[in-house]
Chain A
Amino acid sequence: MTSYIGTATSRIDGRDKVTGTARYAAEFGAPDLAYASLVTSPIARGRLKRLDVTAALKVQGVITVLSHQNRPSMADNDKAYKDQVAPRNGSPFRPLYDDGIKFSGQPVAVVLAEDLETASYAASLVHVAYDEEPHVTDITRQRYNGMALKAPAKPRGDATKAFSESDARHEADYFVPIEHHNPMELYASTAIWNDGRITVYDKTQGVQNVHGYLCGVFECDPGDIRVMSPYVGGAFGSGLRPPFQVALAVLAARAISRSVRLVLTRQQMYAIGYRPAMIQRIQLGAKADGSLNAISHDAVTSTSEYEDFHRNETTWSSLLYRSETAKYDHKLVRLDLPTGCDMRAPSAATGVYALEAAMDELAEALKMDPIELRLKCYSDRDQSNGLPFSSKNLRECYRQGAETFGWSRRNPAPRSMREGHEFIGWGMATGVWEALQMPIAVRIALTSNGHAEVSCATADIGTGTYTIMAQVAADMLGLPLEAISIKLGDSTLPQAPVEGGSWMAASVSNGIVTTSQAIRDDLLKLAQRLPGSPLKGRSGDEVVLANGAIALKTDGRDATAIADVMRSAGIDRIEREERTTFAKDDAHAHNTHSAIFAEVRVDEDIGVIRVTRVVSAVAAGRILNLKTARSQIMGGVVWGMGMALHEETLIDHRFGRMMNANIAEYHVPVNADVHDVDVIFVDEQDEFVNPMGIKGLGEIGIVGVPAAIANAVYHATGVRVRDLPITLDKLTRKA
């Protein structure tokens, strides 16, 4: 019997997606559907003074205009608005709650009409007057006014002294601007009204998180609301927390006792979350042989005025490299913007960018090959706590990546390699992320016709979760892939965490294993009842489900068809739901690693940068599906190119407003920007991280890519650009 795990299996939902039968949140409807359109604030801070809806209400087809003045009741305490992913400290944004304005783009009214065109036209007729208050949206102005966080690791030794005594030193600031996720699918919620009960079709990374949030906000029983999200057109972290449109769609449905659909515009989506702007200062000191004396990493990141959102940028420099001394600092700055949120590899995409760009500069100061420096500081233990890694095959990532890329042919001198009008630059960097898993419940219903339905309230945000779930279930139940159907994205299904942090593949796969073993044990008991069963006296561990039969694991002999076992017992369905928790492994650190190699070509006069080759060598435990895994990493690489060269949300600080909130002016890479991307999965077996040895791939693909490209741009041009994105004007600007 062939095993599906580890093969390049095509997406089981691929056909539905390309033929349009896969339905997304805005594609569900009901006969009584009303359409919602938002009125948003042009000011960044203040109060709503006056709301004039007279003209809007006069438009034929308008049902009502909702605002804080006439909305149905909502909870009046912060706890009700705290979803699973909300920052610990702060007071979550309450949409349409009162007259307070906390950010430009904040919804202040919802127009409901019989069709979308009428709703959006009437929204343009709502006149709002504001009392404006002074605002601050510029992180550079607030750099020294941040609150110190306790998050960073403890210092080791006297890093200041060690730095000053180092043979080679590097010290610089690295800036990352605000970036937005820009998933292709617009955020949307369709709330279907059914006699006071509501089913919400929502774009989310966690149906149960949204469900809990809505029950809290609207103070209703869990049975009154159901959240469905069968397909998600990309989210990348922006769908971890419930965005304001889902609360507003439900609020509107409750207000008019009808079904309501609310689809955000691209511009409105810029107010639901973003990667916060940050300034990082890195100091690296080394002995002449390249061994690190001192690492110092100070991060200043930004959040809103009402919630303390941050991740821990300094974590990565505290674990990755051996250094005699180290110190870390993280300050959080308040700005009059919506709260930021997780965006692919939150803290690592940014923190590792700064660290790895700085390592390249240190290598140059030491006149050392960048890989050699990293090998010199290589650590088999997490430097922040001294724990050995459950597995770490980063050395092999460096070796295989360098070999595939041809790194040994690199001339280390900047501006030394060229072809025609173009300088050629080769850069590399390390990537790192954490390997996590979360408690999860999985239900499996096996029927005697040889079909199994696997259910779990997880999400497939485009990553391939449907497919890997089917692969694991097929292998564990001994059935062909076609005999497995997957149900996910429904809040009434068995418990699942939000899909994020790269933890879902490990969590749900191990969850399927647990429940499959329960099914196997049930089958074993039934089989043992058969007259003369060769499985008598055998335990569950001694048997296996394969080729539609239950058999002895040792030699596969004495197989009995599952259908026969069930028929003889007179049952046609075995259903089990099991919860899987993971034993805490305090003896190890658990991480994925990668080595990224990038080639850029930069025009000598014009400064146009082309990324012509990227090799990403990844060590991430067991790979479940070579095809979807490769796509995950390629997507991360392309995003890393965007972070390095293109992406930046521009704020006019006079207005406190994001000015390029559309995909014409907010640039992400297009096909012409993407040339050869080579993905290598380095063999890595891990017996500690979880029973299946799965580490997750969602984040690791982007980590390190921006630094590898920045380092390649330096190698090509001799110019260090330390404020992303590296646009061509920065190559020629005066210092």
Chain B
Amino acid sequence: MILKAMTVFAVFFLASYFTGLWADIIMLRLRSECTVLYRISFGGCVLIALGMIVCFAGSLFGASSTVCICIYAVIAAALTVAAVPAACKRKISLFPFVMPRFHVYDSLYLAVILLISVQIAGVFGYSFDNAGVLRGIPEAVKVFDSGVLAPADPMMLFTGSLSRIMNVHPLRFVHGCLAVPLILFYYLCTFEVIRVILPSDERRPVALLTVTLLAMWGYQSDFLLGAALLLKWYGIWVFVLFGLANVSAVILIRYLEMIPETVPVRDIEETEDEDPDQEEWDMKKHRIVNARNLAIALGVLAACLAASVFILNGKINRLYAATVNLQTDINSRCSIYEFIPESGQTEGYLITGSDGTVTFIGGGSSKNSGLLETFLDEHVNNINIWYIYGEDEESSGAMRALIHSGRVDPEKIYVIDREDVTGIR
């Protein structure tokens, strides 16, 4: 198993590195730089997306998982191999490593590494107290068991196909082989976005540290469980949120930066000869408190309020549901029912205790036995303790009839002495 995990790790990052050469080519066209980390992020993203597409397409045509993985391997290998000459043709260095300069604030990266290590160690060493984490896994298990692909979550189809090829149960594959490469890969993707957004080096480690904390926060909500990197690193939503979205964001930012700023001719003419009023208006425009900023702030406030109302509404509904269920639970645990036959006179009481003990008092003569059996069928299965008012037919006939028919089997029967009770009063 360790050998298989190491193979997955090595193959994934090596293939991602060379497939990522296409990222260099794209960045070259966008007149921007491409780091080694972005190369790996882009390559990994392409490889995973390709696997999902091939497996999902295979499921639509009813192909077997083995065939799909073979097709995937051929396409991935072709992409990887083709990237090398394409990069060399454009004079892109295959191994552009430079030693980074070390700053004191880079020590924060140690905290990031420590946190990620804690996450990975947790993934290996602990189980989760929420079965919902496994949602989606049955689809991968189905592929693993049968080898047939049916339309379902593409990520799970891909995972199931890989685990079948490697002959490892999907759960073992996810926890043993995928945890380390995927969690590291998603953090690489996130770091690349942070690097592009923040030009200043000193803020990057703090930003990455915040993201690692957020990744651990996701578990606090069932709604966000599917996108929690810590628990669902093998899920499609984590791939979309931490992989695809981040890699796409970097390309989009670079593309938008490439487009030159277009300044209208009229604006250029106006700036040449500005009057004092215009300058004053311009100052107002750039003040922190102006109409535009206020509108944005109000919009944000409105969004926060709407979210609060939505969340509180859900909370109140849950509280109501909990109260209703609790009342039902109490009713089902401890309750008293009155047995009234057709005569209209109360002939007995059924008491169910909070510990599940069922007690019956009375019952009457044997002519009540049929109605009493129906009454018991509605409420209980058996009676543990039975109190009767005497041993004669008038007081114990119904009980005797039910015992003889096998409907009830009381553990204890007590006879209440009417005279004693009357004497007390």
User: Is B truly associated with A?
Assistant: no
